[in-house]
C-alpha cells in the first residue's frame, strides 16, 4: 500500500479531476503552466506559474548541479520546467499511473528527466540521495505529514532542501472550517469519497523541523497584495 494509503485513490482522484476539468490533453500539458486565457483554470495556473518561477529562480541561483525529486509529480509539467535548470537531473514519482503515463508520453524525451510509478519507500529509489525534494500541490494527499517528511529527509543530502508549495497550510483555528468546506465541495461535484483522501495541513505541523517560510500568504505585505498566492512556500532542511 502506498504512502497516500486508502484503497482506490487513483480511481477517485482521476474521477474528481475529470469533473473539475483538470484532466488535460497532452498538447495542453506540454505547455503548462502557460494556458489559454479562456480556460476555466487560467487564474489558478497563473498562481502556479508564479510559484514555479520563484522556485526555479531560487534553485538556479545556487549555480551548482542539482539532483531533484518531485514527489506526486502528476502529469509532469513541473518536472519538465525544473529540468531546464542548468546542471539539473530530475526525477518525478507518483502512484497515479494515469497521469504518470501522460508525463512519460509528453516529457519522456527529455534526457535529464525520468519518471517512475510508486512511492518513495520502494526499491526504485532506495539508496538514492537528492539535493532538492519538491512537493507541489501534493502534500495534502498524504495521511501523515510526519511520516512523509521523515521519509523525504532520509533521501535528502546533508545540505539538501525540501520545498513545499501550492498547498494550503492553515492556522489551527481554521482547520475545522476548512475540513467542512472541503467536504461540501467534494459533495457538490459528486465526489464525496475524495474527502477521505484529502488531509488538511496545519502550520503547527512544521514545529518539529528546521524550516524557513519563503513565502507567507498571512504576512502583512502579501495579504494586501493584489493577486497574491494563497499558498505558503516552505523549505525544510536538516539541522
| pLDDT score for 7 | 54
| pLDDT score for 3 | 41
CA 143 to CA 145: how far, in whole Å?
7
- Under DSSP, the state recorded for 202 is E
Helix axes 9-19, 97-107, angle to 10 degrees: 70
Fold type of domain 9-237: Rossmann fold (3.40.50)
pLDDT in tens, 110-153: 999 999 998 887 656 767 899 999 999 999 999 999 999 999 99
Q: Are 233 and 51 in contact (CB under 8 A)?
A: yes
Ranges in the chain, pLDDT < 50: 1-6
In the structure, how many helices (H) and strands (E) does the chain have?
8, 9
| pLDDT score for 123 | 58
Q: What are phi and psi of 157, to 5 degrees?
A: -65, 165
Q: What are phi and psi of 140, to 5 degrees?
A: -75, -10
CA 166 to CA 134: how far, in whole Å?
11
Domain borders along the chain are 9-237
Amino acid at each position: 500500500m502506498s504512502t497516500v494509503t486508502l484503497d482506490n485513490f487513483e480511481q477517485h482522484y482521476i474521477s474528481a479531476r475529470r469533473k473539475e476539468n483538470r484532466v488535460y490533453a497532452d498538447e495542453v500539458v506540454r505547455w503548462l503552466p502557460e494556458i489559454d486565457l479562456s480556460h476555466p483554470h487560467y487564474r489558478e495556473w497563473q498562481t502556479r506559474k508564479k510559484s514555479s518561477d520563484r522556485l526555479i529562480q531560487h534553485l538556479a541561483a545556487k549555480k551548482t548541479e542539482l539532483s531533484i525529486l518531485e514527489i506526486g509529480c502528476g502529469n509532469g509539467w513541473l518536472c519538465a520546467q525544473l529540468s531546464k535548470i542548468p546542471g539539473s537531473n530530475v526525477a518525478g514519482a507518483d502512484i497515479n499511473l494515469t497521469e504518470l503515463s501522460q508525463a512519460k508520453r509528453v516529457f519522456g524525451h527529455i534526457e535529464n528527466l525520468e519518471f517512475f510509478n510508486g512511492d518513495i519507500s520502494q526499491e526504485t529509489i532506495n539508496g538514492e540521495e537528492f539535493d532538492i525534494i519538491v512537493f507541489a500541490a501534493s502534500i495534502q494527499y498524504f495521511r501523515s505529514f510526519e511520516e512523509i517528511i521523515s521519509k523525504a529527509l532520509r533521501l535528502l543530502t546533508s545540505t539538501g532542501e525540501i520545498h513545499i508549495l501550492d498547498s494550503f497550510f492553515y492556522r489551527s483555528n481554521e482547520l475545522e472550517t476548512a475540513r467542512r468546506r472541503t467536504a461540501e465541495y467534494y459533495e457538490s461535484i459528486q465526489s464525496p469519497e475524495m474527502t477521505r483522501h484529502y488531509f488538511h495541513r496545519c502550520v503547527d505541523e512544521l514545529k518539529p523541523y528546521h524550516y524557513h517560510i519563503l513565502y507567507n500568504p498571512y504576512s502583512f505585505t502579501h495579504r494586501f497584495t493584489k493577486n497574491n498566492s494563497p499558498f505558503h512556500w516552505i523549505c525544510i532542511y536538516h539541522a
